[in-house]
Amino acid sequence: MSEAATAPRWLRRPDERPEEILAAALDVFGEQGYARAKLEDIAKRAGVSKGTIYLYFESKDELFRALVRSRVTDALAQAADRLARNPGPWRPELETLIHDMWQIISSERMCLLGRLIQSELAHFPDIGRFYFDEVIAPSRQLLTTVLERGVAAGEFRPEAVRIAPRAIPAMLTNLALTRRFFAQHDVTLPDEATTLRDLLDLLLHGLTAPARLTDSTGS
């Protein structure tokens, strides 16, 4: 463990404080929701004063936006950069993209944030618009780009582009939330690696079994 990680909070460098505040904000927003979360609670969790938060973030709104950008938006930007340099093939890229999305969505803290997003953001239009512009639309565009390039290369069916960019994030999000909040009741729940493998298989192959081969007599 590093000296920075073990030092008392008041001895840590100022450039460590924004990340400590963001980590505390993720916990508090996840536990209390957006409406009920207070900067005082976030400051207490981070081990700083409320005034310290204002040195880095102007308001709860700006803190939430910075949290989303640090945990999700930056990762999407990295994926877009990787995609821009990728000449194909596109099925491995799609699998990598889905895997990366799952890693973000399925963690315990992000599931708490995901529950907040589903339940509260409709009541905060400005924040909802921000989340759509920074997370939903870029995620959808990444998937659309991969699928369109795969269609052009003959790897995917053209019809997939219509619904898959919307369906994949929805499936990942709801599967992660179901796993996180109902695992104790689901005795048949597979582990996360198996869950992701089976989901990829479903997305790539669908539900319909291949037609059975028949002999030349048609029997």
**Can you give the pLDDT at residue 20?**
94
Quote the number of domains for the chain: 1
Domain presence at residue 93: yes
Domain presence at residue 40: no
Domain presence at residue 211: no
**Can you give the pLDDT at residue 56?**
95
User: Which CATH number do you get for residue 134?
Assistant: 1.10.357.10
Domain presence at residue 176: yes
The string of DSSP codes covering 10-56 is: GGS-GGGHHHHHHHHHHHHHHHHHHHH--HHHHHHHHTS-HHHHHHH
Tell me the pTM. 0.82
Domain presence at residue 198: yes
Domain presence at residue 172: yes
Residue pair 31/112 in contact (Cβ under 8 Å)? The answer is yes
pLDDT digits (tens, 9 = 90+) for 3-46: 444 444 544 556 678 999 999 999 999 899 999 999 999 999 99
Domain presence at residue 138: yes
Rounded to whole angstroms, the Cα distance separating 159 from 73 reads 28
pLDDT digits (tens, 9 = 90+) for 159-207: 989 999 999 999 999 999 988 889 889 888 888 889 899 999 998 888 7
Average pLDDT, the chain: 87
Structural domain harbouring 73: 60-183+192-205
Number of CB atoms found within 10 A of residue 199's CB: 16
Domain presence at residue 76: yes
**Can you give the pLDDT at residue 212?**
62
CA 84: distance to chain centroid? 20
